[in-house]
Structure 1
Amino acid sequence: FMRILLLPKECSNFIRVLQPYNQTHLYICGTGAFHPICAYLEMGKRAEDNIFRLALHFENGRGKSPYDPKMLSASLLLDGELYSGTSADFMGRDFAIFRTLGDQHPIRTEQHDSRWLNDPRFIGVNLIPESDNPEDDKIFLFFKENAMDGEHTGKATIARIGQLCKNDMGGHRSLVNKWTTFLKARLMCSVPGLNGIDTHFDELQDVFLMSSKDPKNPVIYGVFTTSSNIFKGSAVCMYNMADIRRVFSWPIRPQRWAHLPVGALPRESSLPRPGTCPSKTFGGFDSTKDLPDDVITFARGHPAMYNPFSQLVVGQSGGGGRPVRCLYMGTVLKVVTIPRESWHDLEEVVVKIQSQQLYLGSALGVSQMSLHRCEVYGKACAECCLARDPYCAWDGAECSRYFPTAKRRTRRQDIRNGDPLSQCSDLQSVFGVENSSMFLECSPKSQRALIYWQLQKPNDDRKIEIKLDDRVVHTDQGLLIRSLSQSDTGIYHCQAVEHGFIQPLLRLNIQVIPTQRLGDILPGIPGVGGGTGHSAKHRVWYRDFLSLLDHPELNSVEEFCDRVWKKERTTEEGEDPQWEEPGQNRQHQWPPEL
């Protein structure tokens, strides 16, 4: 009777399943005014096709979409099969995890058994490979449900992570068309407090899997809120697959009402262990239909793991070469997680939401927000650095979008420390190798100004004028040191003087690496540690090493060498000196003899 008195808006068709079916179609399901229906939506293969056509064929949506739009459900379409966690009846009492579509008979969790599912609300469904063998692939479900008897949590709601095998075909005699590999564990997110009192976040709200180089080991982020009426709060917890697999490996939670004695396990001859997928990887059986009946019986009565999976409260963009992760929470926060020593010791930095686009869905519609708005951090280098936004960096003129492929000299950002003193100071550090050449470029903007160079030795406040000779040459473009020595270490000051006005133009902290030390670190370098000749490999190393030198105007010393070599060649030939553009084909010796 209560269901008859529905509000008009509840009789709409609320879309609850929207999954890619193939290259041209989406599979969609909706509540259909408490009569779930599904259909195929043609989108075209390319964006320019401009197709949005609903197929005339409709399918029954029972077991795919909930009846009630208020009920939480989750789904995943994989290899033509739809995995759904939803309610399967009009009254919202029969909750199950289904696999429908495809060529196989539909399969589901045990019906009306609170040990399997106890009034669940589903959050997400994901595929995570177990090994390189597809037969071991597992489906993981994230949901929250009422606590079971005997868990002694004192909490009405707990978060869960469930797993089942993708190749589960159900049992032969027992659990026919029912999952035989379904297991679940408690997913805990808490903050330890004084006197052993923990703050628990039990209401799982959302889950995000961040992929890694190894598809078998994504990082899982969960967003939680509290269920307490006294303390209100939210948290983000991070989990790794190694810990999850460890929890699902053993032991099974004993049940007083199970068919077998309390804590009893299947006989050794009855392996595989419950939850193991039938495959050639771990031996055992070819199909779940071949499993012995006592294994099926044990799995039927013991779906829950004994140990909970817990983690303390804690995205990925490359910020200055270090791994950081960005979490977009709600509609107003972007949180950057930065590892101190490891990913178990994190620092969180809240930054303003930025422009790639972030799309946010709600009951009112879809909103578009920008991920990159670096200009909001102001015009100063310090403000850009203190923002600690991995999408932004100081480019020498303004706070602009960070590009990982940009040259190192064009970006300044310190996500880990946010230290403007080290990033925004006009003192730049440059490294050179003993006996190699170095060019310090510094030229005045005014043609009438004179340039003076001074050197400040380490641990000395005095500045001495640099003596020019055959080894140290002053040009209109800067200072050339033909052969570096240990005595060249120090801070170089370049100043422009005009009509008695002194303008500092550049400060460089030159550090000279001894040749013998370089040979110990990188043996086989030409002329260092016994290496001889200038092979192609050595030339590449020499170029890459010199590219680390942070010159104000040049991308690397290689570019300077190109220019100096071109100037000397054209001068000797009686031509007008012209700078050769770096990167052109050259047949001269490398490195140039300066």
Structure 2
Amino acid sequence: QRDCHNYIKMLLRLNSTHLYTCGTCAFSPACAYVDVQRFSLERDAAGKPLLEDGKGRCPFDPEYKSTAVMVDGELYAGTVSNFQGNEPTIYRSQESRISLKTENSLNWLQGEGRGWHGSGHCLPAAGRHGDDDKIYFFFSETGKEFDYFENTIVSRIARVCKGDQGGERVLQRRWTTFLKAQLLCSHPDDGFPFNVLRGVFVLTPGEQRWRETLFYGVFTSHKGGLGGSAVCAFPMRSVQGAFAGLYKEVNRETQQWYTDTSPVPEPRPGS
């Protein structure tokens, strides 16, 4: 019965006058606007709270994790999009633009709804370097590229571009800039791995110094391994270097992953 209460999973500043909040609402997620001055829900002419469908923005089950960031009035959420909690998704929703999400049929994301740990927005200085605003997500999932282990948990950082409009003929209403890379955290002396991400903090010095951004992650060892935890820091230059590196692809016949060393197409996928 406790699971049927409304568990608040998101509370973000929308603008100077309103907050945006989402809750599980007894396994029927919904979102609402909060007037900051009165700290009460916005209501319609009949006096009923103005509610929006929370699917893709908030999990159904209070046990599932989620993360979200509000950028220029647009919501970017990492959550699960179904009741069973086995369809993780990165979703953008806003009335003035096309909603975008990851493609579930291609398994861009693996695992269940307990893997989301954080998100952040990095704003390049306007008109410099040709960079678009980037939205980053941090999560744990099953590493399908490790065919010699079963259910290996790996930690990831994913990136999408704020200016992404989706595809025209393929990937319609889907991200065309989605990329993900593995986060590696290990002991500096013996290389003992801490591969399960538990939490993230994003430290950005400011718009003009966005390249100095640091991502701090709290990690633990894999289930069944030795106890212990670690904090690892990932500078923006390392993250950019990873996303500018070689790709991995999967052979659809053998389901084996391999590193693609062929020339990178232009424009670069995910840019």
Fold match (TM-score > 0.5): yes
Bigger fraction of residues in helix: 1
Query: Scaled by the length of structure 1, what TM-score is found?
Result: 0.41
What is the Cα deviation at residue 193 of structure 1? 4.8
Structure-1 residue corresponding to 2:270: 275
Secondary structure in structure 1 of the residue aligned to 2:231? strand
Secondary structure in structure 2 of the residue aligned to 1:75? strand
What is the Cα deviation at residue 28 of structure 1? 0.3
For 2:91 and 2:5, locate their aligned partners in 1 and report how far apart those are by CA, in whole Å.
Answer: 24
Deviations 1:233-268 (A, max 9, x none): 11101110011101110201132129xx9827577x
Structure-2 residue corresponding to 1:532: none
- Structure with the bigger RCO (C-alpha within 8 Å, sep 6+) is 2
Is the counterpart of residue 54 in structure 1 residue 41 in structure 2? yes
**Match of residue 75, structure 1, among 59, 68, 74:** 68
Q: Which runs of 4+ in 1 moved over 6 A?
A: none
Secondary structure in structure 1 of the residue aligned to 2:197? strand
Q: 1:131 to 1:256 in 2, by over 3 A?
A: farther
Deviations 1:126-177 (A, max 9, x none): 1113453386111111111011134656762110001111101111111000
Deviations 1:210-253 (A, max 9, x none): 22251232111101111232411111011100111011102011
Letter aligned with residue 24 of structure 1: T
Instruction: Tell me if the contact between 1:30 and 1:38 (Cα under 8 Å) persists in the aligned partners.
Output: yes
**Match of residue 10, structure 2, among 8, 12, 17:** 17
Is the counterpart of residue 170 in structure 1 residue 166 in structure 2? yes
Instruction: Tell me if the contact between 2:123 and 2:133 (Cα under 8 Å) persists in the aligned partners.
Output: yes
**Match of residue 235, structure 1, among 226, 230, 234:** 230
Deviations 1:470-518 (A, max 9, x none): xxxxxxxxxxxxxxxxxxxxxxxxxxxxxxxxxxxxxxxxxxxxxxxxx
**Match of residue 116, structure 2, among 111, 118, 122:** 122
Alignment gaps of 5+ in structure 2: 43-48
Structure-2 residue corresponding to 1:137: 133
What is the Cα deviation at residue 101 of structure 1? 2.0
Query: Scaled by the length of structure 2, what TM-score is found?
Result: 0.87
Is the counterpart of residue 181 in structure 1 residue 210 in structure 2? no
Q: 1:106 to 1:52 in 2, by over 3 A?
A: same
For 1:171 and 1:266, locate their aligned partners in 2 and report how far apart those are by CA, in whole Å.
Answer: 23
Q: 1:241 to 1:217 in 2, by over 3 A?
A: same
For 2:8 and 2:14, locate their aligned partners in 1 and report how far apart those are by CA, in whole Å.
Answer: 16
Instruction: Tell me if the contact between 2:19 and 2:36 (Cα under 8 Å) persists in the aligned partners.
Output: yes
Instruction: Tell me if the contact between 2:247 and 2:259 (Cα under 8 Å) persists in the aligned partners.
Output: no
For 1:123 and 1:262, locate their aligned partners in 2 and report how far apart those are by CA, in whole Å.
Answer: 27
What is the aligned-residue RMSD (CA, Å)?
Answer: 2.2
Letter aligned with residue 219 of structure 2: F
Is the counterpart of residue 93 in structure 1 residue 72 in structure 2? no
Letter aligned with residue 178 of structure 2: F
Instruction: Tell me if the contact between 1:129 and 1:216 (Cα under 8 Å) persists in the aligned partners.
Output: no
| Matched ranges for 1:142-541 at <5 A | 142-150=138-146, 156-194=152-190, 198-212=191-205, 214-257=209-252, 263=260, 265=262, 271-276=266-271
Structure-2 residue corresponding to 1:107: 100
Q: 1:256 to 1:65 in 2, by over 3 A?
A: same
For 2:263 and 2:101, locate their aligned partners in 1 and report how far apart those are by CA, in whole Å.
Answer: 23
Secondary structure in structure 1 of the residue aligned to 2:20? strand
Structure whose CA Rg is larger: 1
Structure-2 residue corresponding to 1:66: 59
Question: Greater CA deviation, 220-229 or 180-189?
Answer: 220-229
Secondary structure in structure 2 of the residue aligned to 1:244? helix
Q: 1:250 to 1:230 in 2, by over 3 A?
A: closer
Secondary structure in structure 1 of the residue aligned to 2:15? coil
Instruction: Tell me if the contact between 2:122 and 2:204 (Cα under 8 Å) persists in the aligned partners.
Output: no
Q: 1:146 to 1:129 in 2, by over 3 A?
A: same
Q: Percent identity?
A: 36
